[in-house]
Amino acid sequence: MSQPAYIAAANLVRIFRSDEVETFALQGLDLSVEHGEMVALVGPSGAGKSTFLNLLSALDRPDAGTLVVGGLDIVAANDRQRAEYRRSSVGFLWQQTTRNLIPGLTARENVALPALLAGIAPAEAYASADELLAAVEMSDHRHRDPLRMSGGQQQRIAIATALGCKPPLLLADEPTGEVDWASAERILALLQRLRRDYALTIVLVTHDVRVAEAADRTIAIRDGRTSSERGADDIETVVVDAAGRLQLPGELRQRVGLGSRATVSAVDGAILVKPWSPGSTGEGSHD
């Protein structure tokens, strides 16, 4: 039997309802991530990337679909199991760096806080914080106020804090969004090293192709669905979901004049998708 994926998301649907509008943030998202992988999620603003991270961190629940992480069905899990999962199984790096840090606490106190809140004895929590501060190369700054540090330094403290309870999974929403490229490169190198040293699985959201290229795999999300993937072989593939749905790139659709309907047939071991409009014969060449 092959080992199940560390993260297995199937047909995730998330709808936000306000008085007048319904927003389909996720419309049947399928995605799996292997243990130890570093995956980048890319896609236009509003595609559903943050919504997915919120589901993965068990801060939010989907309206439909399944989400299993490390063998735990986090949709079916009860509140106590979900709280335990949030505490010990997942570290979260918010898009806004300062949201990861508590004002008035030193770097060391920030990093120790998750373990202290989890009921770990102070001596052990601070020893663990010191180890994490060394891992992110911020030992010398441990007594400083992180809110007075540079963006890149703040981010390294935030990463150490996210790993405060040594979770196996790290989620990061635009971890390099607020820093320059030199700092971004250092953060990426750090994430790679932490992944190896702490056997982490990492899912990060990014707008930056350079950041995505540092990941093992890039998964593009569009309109709340997984649309394409690029892996180690560097080949961009379109994702076909369990129902046979796929998303055709807009640029290709434009190039052949594909509107809202198409004919589909098998030709020479391939599937041929041809534009179709009412009144056309479906043969194309007769028009």
**Residue 48, contacted partner among Mg ion, ligand ADP, none, CB below 5-8 A by kind:** ligand ADP
| Overall residue count recorded for the chain in this entry | 287
Does 227 help bind ligand ADP (rule: CB under 6 A)? no
**Contact positions with Mg ion (CB under 5 A) in 82-111:** none
Does 28 help bind ligand ADP (rule: CB under 6 A)? no
Does 19 help bind ligand ADP (rule: CB under 6 A)? no
CA distance 226 to 241: 8
For the chain, the C-alpha Rg in angstroms (whole number) is 22
List, in sequence order, every beta strand (DSSP E) within the chain. Answer: 7-17, 22-33, 38-42, 64-69, 72-73, 90-93, 169-173, 201-205, 217-222, 225-230, 236-238, 262-267, 270-275
Q: Could you tell me how many residues of this chain bind ligand ADP (CB under 6 A)?
A: 11
Give which of 45, 161, 39 is closest to 98, Cα–Cα: 161
**From the CB of residue 69, how many other CB atoms can be counted at a distance below 10 Å?**
24
Tell the residue number behind the tokens 């560097």, with chain if given: 234
Does 25 help bind ligand ADP (rule: CB under 6 A)? yes
Give the shortest CB-205-to-ligand ADP separation in angstroms.
Answer: 7
* Interface segment toward ligand ADP; rule CB under 6 A; list 49-57, 81-89, 207-215, 249-257: 49-57
Does 47 help bind ligand ADP (rule: CB under 6 A)? yes
**Residue 78, contacted partner among Mg ion, ligand ADP, none, CB below 5-8 A by kind:** none
Which residue type, as a one-letter code, is found at position 268? D
Give the shortest CB-26-to-ligand ADP separation in angstroms.
Answer: 8
Does 50 help bind Mg ion (rule: CB under 5 A)? yes
Q: Could you tell me how many residues of this chain bind Mg ion (CB under 5 A)?
A: 1
Binding site for ligand ADP (CB under 6 A): 16, 23, 25, 43, 45-51
